[in-house]
Amino acid sequence: MMNLPCLRRGRADRHHFFSALLVVLIVTASSLRPAAAQTTGKQLMHGHVPPGLSRLKSLGQLSGATNLQLAIGLSLRNAAALTNLLRQIYDPASTNYHRYLTPAQFTERFGPTENDYQAMIAFAQANGLKVTATHPNRVVLDVSGSVASVEKALHVTLRVYQHPTEARTFYAPDTEPSLDLSVPILHISGLDNYALPHPHLQATPAEPGAKKRAAQCRFRAEQHVHGRGFSRGVCAGYHHDWFGSGGWPLAV
């Protein structure tokens, strides 16, 4: 993984640094994650079954009427080129040093295609899932639906287990999900609550009197990038998924 110098020249540079680091983590996760297998028309996912689940006894199935909120992460295009670009952006000797992309530039060069995004939307709706949010960079699609619909769409059974280290139960799929879809999917967040999200970063207000919500900048991993998911962030009062649907973090 590349080394990024710690920038100390003000809030803007610090924000660019942490945003770029987030991108690097996701690109690295994309490159290290095994490619989804294509078998008999199904795309088999990886990394959705919590570790050690096979050693736990199921307490039963999650109620089919339970509503789930899912975030479907589509794979980036040209991941190697993006990694190289990030290296150049933080290399003072490069002609691309601090030449940040706009949201439109990032989407055009590295985001999923519009056709792929629409195919993902059509797949979700055809399987009884409601699209709750779309994003300009097309990296994430937010959907909701009943457990019964999710199980049918992803060919899984969601079961309830006693957590091995916490005084609570959790739900999780008993097998890796698969989709009858050719569009490459990186991860589906929300299929389990084995690991609960925790805040990772708090920043102090940039200006006196700024609203507390707008002054906070925190990056949290919903299922943790290192093997089981992707990151979502809230920064300076706007919400962005991965690469900033509310404003590209590496903007000019």
Residue located via tokens 């680091």: 21
pLDDT at 37: 56
Which DSSP helix (H) or strand (E) runs through 220?
A: strand 217-221
Q: Is residue 249 part of a domain?
A: no
Q: Is residue 174 part of a domain?
A: yes
Structure confidence by residue, pLDDT tens digits, 42-80: 899 999 999 999 999 999 999 999 999 999 999 999 989
| Residue closest to 74 by CA, chosen among 232, 184, 222, 230 | 184
Question: From CA 1, how far away is CA 234, in angstroms rounded?
Answer: 25
- Number of other residues whose CB lies within 10 A of the CB of residue 75: 17
Q: Is residue 51 part of a domain?
A: yes
What is the total count of domains within the chain?
A: 1
Q: Is residue 150 part of a domain?
A: yes
Q: Is residue 125 part of a domain?
A: yes
pLDDT at 13: 45
Q: Is residue 143 part of a domain?
A: yes
Question: From CA 173, how far away is CA 49, in angstroms rounded?
Answer: 6
pLDDT at 120: 97
Q: Is residue 237 part of a domain?
A: no
Q: Is residue 240 part of a domain?
A: no
Instruction: Give the pTM.
Output: 0.68
What phi, psi does 95 have (nearest 5°)? -70, -15
Stretches in the chain below the pLDDT threshold 70 = 1-41, 198-252
Tell me which residue range forms the domain holding 192.
Answer: 35-75+113-196
pLDDT at 24: 47
